Amino acid sequence: MIANTPIAAFYLRVSSHKQVKNELPLEGQRREMEQWCHENGYHFAEEFVYADKAITGETENRPALQDLMSTALRKKPPFSVIICWAFSRFMRNEDESMMHKALLKKNGVRVVSISEPIPEGPYASVIERLIEVQDANFLRTLSAACCRGIHTAALKGHWTNPKQVPYGYKLEVIKTENRHFYKLAINEEPADVVRQIYQMALDGYSLKQISQCVNMHKARIASILKNENYTGKRVIHSKKTREKVLVVDDAHPAIVDKTTFERVQRALKTRIKCQNKGLTGNHLFTGILKCKCEKPMIHKTCAGGTKSNPTKLHYYRCDNDRCNITTVKEDRLYDILLSCLEEQLFDEKVLRSAVEAVNSDRAKSDVAAARNHLTARRAKANLRQQRLMDQIEEGVLTQDQISERMKKINDEIIELDVQLATMQQVDDKPVKWTDVVKLIKTIKRQLKSQDSVERKLALQAIVPRLVYYGNTVVVETTLMGLKDELTLQYHPVPDVPSDYEGASHNDKRRLVAGIRRYTNDKSITGRQINKMTADELNQYVMHYQRKQMHNDGYSNEQ
Ligand SMILES: [Zn+2]
C-alpha cells in the first residue's frame, strides 16, 4: 500500500429483499464502490469491508455497523472515508445519523454515498440532511401504507393475519376473480371451550383451576380472556405502543357476548389488584380488610343455614395463626358498613361541606401557574438540547461529554413531560353539586348491585381500607379526593337489662353469647358466665371495657 494514499472503508447493507426493488445486491454495491475508489484515488482493503444483511433500517442492532463505528472513532482511524450505497443504508434515524456523522467528522472521517452524489461546497451538509430526512419519511410512509392496507381489509371484515387465527375460529377462504381473502368462522368444538373459559373466569375460578379443567396452559388462557376479537369486534393493536389503533364492530361472528367480555375484564382487573396485596379472588373484602395485627384477613366459607335450606357462610379470618382475634362475617360487616356510609358519608350536610372543602382547595392551588412554569422549563431544556447538538457539529465536545450531557438533558425532559402529563390530569375546575349527587347515586346503586364484581369495584373506589379491631372496624374512606376515617361497631356493646333475673332462658342465652362475642375472652367458660348475676355481668363487661380502653390508649401491642 502506498503511503499517503487515502483509504476507504465500505459499508454494505441490503434490507429484506421485497422492500426496495431497485436496490443493488451486495456484490453490485461492492463493484460500484470499488469503481468509485478508482475514480477518486482511494485505496480499499478487505479488512475494512463491513456488511450487514437483511435488517430493516430503523433498528439499531447492526453488528457490522457498530464494528465500523468503533474502528472509525479510534484515536487514529485507519481510513478517512466511509463509502455507503445510500445514506439510508447508513442510518435511518435522523438524529442518530446526525450524531454519528458529527462524531465521524470530528475524527476526520467522511461519509460518502455513491448513489446520491453530494455537491461539495457550503450547501453539502444541508443537502445531506435533506436526503436523510427524505429517507426517514420513506420508511414512515411505507409502514403507514401497510397499516392502511390492513385497516381497509379489516373494515370489510376480512381477516388479515392468516397465520394467527384465534382459538375457537377457523379460516374461510373467499375467492374472487383475481384474488382471495380470508374471513373468520366459528369452529364449534374449540369455541365451546372458549365459552367455558369465560364462564369459569366469571364464576371466580383462578387461571390455574381453569387450566386444569380445560387442559390448556395458563398463559394461553390469559391471552384468550383478553382477546377482544371473541366479541366479534376486529381489534388491531399498534405493535409499538400496544394501543388499540382500530376497532371494527361485528367484523365476524362472536363467540362471547360483549357484556360477558367486559365483566371478565373487570374481574381480571380486581384480581390483579388483589394479587399485588398477596391475595387472590373476587370476594367482597379480599385485599381491603386488614386485622389490627396488620395481616390481611382471608376469605373462607363454611356450611350455614338449616338442614332444609343449606347456605354458604362467607367469613374472613386473620392470616396470622398466632392472632386470636374473632372472625368477621361478610354479610354482617357489609350491612353495618352500608348503613354507616349512608349516615356518615352520603349525608347531604356532610357531602355539601366536603364539596366546599374540595372547591376551596382547588381555588387555592394555582394549577395554571404551575403548568406555565413547567412548560417554560420544558422549552428551555429543548433549547439546551439544540445548543448541544450544535456544539457536536462544531466539534467542541468529546464523545463522553456529549453522551453524559445528552443523557442529563433527556432525563430532565422526560421528567418534565411526566410532570406536565400529571398536571393535565389535575382538575382545577370547581365541583358541581349536581355531579356529586349523580356520583353518589351511581355508587349507591353499584354497592347494592347483585353483580359481585360491580359491588366490589364500587366499594374499592370509596373504601380503600378496613381495619378490624375485634369489636370495632375502622373504615378509611375517600371521596372526591378527600380522605376520612369512620368507626363501626361490629359487635355491639352488650347491655344487661335491669330485669335480667326475670328474663326467659333463651333471652339469657342470647345475651351471654353476645357478651362472649364482644369480649372474646377465652379464660372464662360459657357456663361460668351463665351462673353470673346481673350485677356480676355488668361488672364483667365494664371490666373488659376498661381493659380495652387501657390497651387502646397506652399500647397497640397484642
Ligand atoms: Zn390478626
| Nearest-10 crossing angle of helices 207-214, 188-202 | 150
The string of DSSP codes covering 189-202 is HHHHHHHHHHHHHH
Where helices occur in 107-234 by DSSP H, the ranges are 124-155, 188-202, 207-214, 218-226
Compute the distance from residue 324 Cα to the ligand 1 centre, in Å.
7
Do 338 and 484 lie in one domain? The reply is yes
Domain-located, residue 192: yes
Domain-located, residue 183: no
Compute the distance from residue 298 Cα to the ligand 1 centre, in Å.
10
Do 347 and 469 lie in one domain? The reply is yes
Which residues in the chain show pLDDT less than 50? 1-2, 17-21, 57, 276-279, 554-558
Do 44 and 134 lie in one domain? The reply is yes
- Cell readout for 254 is 362472536
Do 99 and 196 lie in one domain? The reply is no
Indicate the residue type of 490.
Answer: Y
pLDDT value of position 277: 42
Dump strand ranges (E) for 269-382: 289-291, 297-305, 310-318, 328-329
Domain-located, residue 308: yes
List C-alpha distances in Å: 558 to 115, 148, 294, 338, 516. Answer: 82, 66, 11, 29, 19
Indicate the residue type of 57.
Answer: G
Domain-located, residue 173: no
Other CB atoms within 10 Å distance of the CB of residue 147: 15
List all residues 6 or more positions away from 521 whose beta carbon is below 8 Å from its beta carbon. 544
Do 263 and 307 lie in one domain? The reply is no
Compute the distance from residue 548 Cα to the ligand 1 centre, in Å.
16
Compute the distance from residue 129 Cα to the ligand 1 centre, in Å.
68
- Is 493 within 8 Å of 500 (Cβ atoms)? no
Phi/psi of residue 186, each to 5°? -75, 135
Compute the distance from residue 291 Cα to the ligand 1 centre, in Å.
5
Do 112 and 41 lie in one domain? The reply is yes
Compute the distance from residue 467 Cα to the ligand 1 centre, in Å.
10
pLDDT digits (tens, 9 = 90+) for 440-487: 888 888 888 887 777 887 888 888 899 998 888 999 988 776 788 888
- Is 408 within 8 Å of 400 (Cβ atoms)? no
- Cell readout for 287 is 385485599
Compute the distance from residue 339 Cα to the ligand 1 centre, in Å.
25
Do 99 and 137 lie in one domain? The reply is yes
Where helices occur in 316-366 by DSSP H, the ranges are 330-344, 348-364
The CATH number assigned to the domain holding 252 equals: 3.90.1750.20
Compute the distance from residue 62 Cα to the ligand 1 centre, in Å.
58
Do 507 and 470 lie in one domain? The reply is no
Compute the distance from residue 205 Cα to the ligand 1 centre, in Å.
27
pLDDT digits (tens, 9 = 90+) for 309-366: 888 888 898 888 788 788 899 989 999 999 989 888 888 888 888 788 777 766 665 6
pLDDT value of position 36: 84
Compute the distance from residue 464 Cα to the ligand 1 centre, in Å.
19
Domain-located, residue 387: yes
Do 50 and 131 lie in one domain? The reply is yes
Compute the distance from residue 290 Cα to the ligand 1 centre, in Å.
8
Compute the distance from residue 539 Cα to the ligand 1 centre, in Å.
28
Do 249 and 310 lie in one domain? The reply is no
Compute the distance from residue 279 Cα to the ligand 1 centre, in Å.
16
Compute the distance from residue 524 Cα to the ligand 1 centre, in Å.
21
How many folded domains does the chain comprise?
5
Compute the distance from residue 292 Cα to the ligand 1 centre, in Å.
6
The CA dihedral of 532, 536, 540, 546, to the nearest 10 degrees, is 180
Compute the distance from residue 327 Cα to the ligand 1 centre, in Å.
10
Phi/psi of residue 375, each to 5°? -60, -40
| Calpha distance 466→452 (Å, rounded) | 18
| Calpha distance 114→307 (Å, rounded) | 92
pLDDT digits (tens, 9 = 90+) for 371-392: 777 788 888 888 888 887 777 7
pLDDT value of position 19: 44
Last residue of a domain, one of 111, 142, 173: 142
Domain-located, residue 494: no
Compute the distance from residue 485 Cα to the ligand 1 centre, in Å.
20
Compute the distance from residue 322 Cα to the ligand 1 centre, in Å.
8
Do 30 and 58 lie in one domain? The reply is yes
Compute the distance from residue 476 Cα to the ligand 1 centre, in Å.
18
pLDDT value of position 240: 62
Compute the distance from residue 466 Cα to the ligand 1 centre, in Å.
13
| Calpha distance 324→135 (Å, rounded) | 72
Query: Which of 192, 191, 172 minimizes the C-alpha distance to 182?
Result: 172
The CATH number assigned to the domain holding 11 equals: 3.40.50.1390
Compute the distance from residue 320 Cα to the ligand 1 centre, in Å.
5
Compute the distance from residue 317 Cα to the ligand 1 centre, in Å.
8
Domain-located, residue 361: no
Compute the distance from residue 326 Cα to the ligand 1 centre, in Å.
9
Average pLDDT, the chain: 78
pLDDT value of position 64: 81
Compute the distance from residue 274 Cα to the ligand 1 centre, in Å.
19
Query: Which of 339, 346, 320, 296 minimizes the C-alpha distance to 490?
Result: 339
Do 309 and 388 lie in one domain? The reply is no
Give CA 407 to chain center in angstroms.
26
Torsion over CA: 58, 59, 62, 65 (sign): positive
Compute the distance from residue 556 Cα to the ligand 1 centre, in Å.
12
Domain-located, residue 89: yes
List all residues 6 or more positions away from 94 whose beta carbon is below 8 Å from its beta carbon. 129, 132, 133, 136
Compute the distance from residue 303 Cα to the ligand 1 centre, in Å.
23
- Domain limits for position 506: 500-557
Compute the distance from residue 493 Cα to the ligand 1 centre, in Å.
21
SS3 content of the chain, % helix, strand, coil (to 5): 50, 15, 30
Compute the distance from residue 308 Cα to the ligand 1 centre, in Å.
35
Compute the distance from residue 299 Cα to the ligand 1 centre, in Å.
14
Last residue of a domain, one of 87, 115, 142: 142
Identify the helix (H) or strand (E) that includes residue 7. Answer: strand 7-14
Compute the distance from residue 171 Cα to the ligand 1 centre, in Å.
56
The 8-class DSSP code of residue 107 comes to: T
- Cell readout for 469 is 379491631
Dump strand ranges (E) for 54-133: 81-84, 110-113
Q: Is 244 helix (H, G, I), strand (E, B) or coil?
A: strand
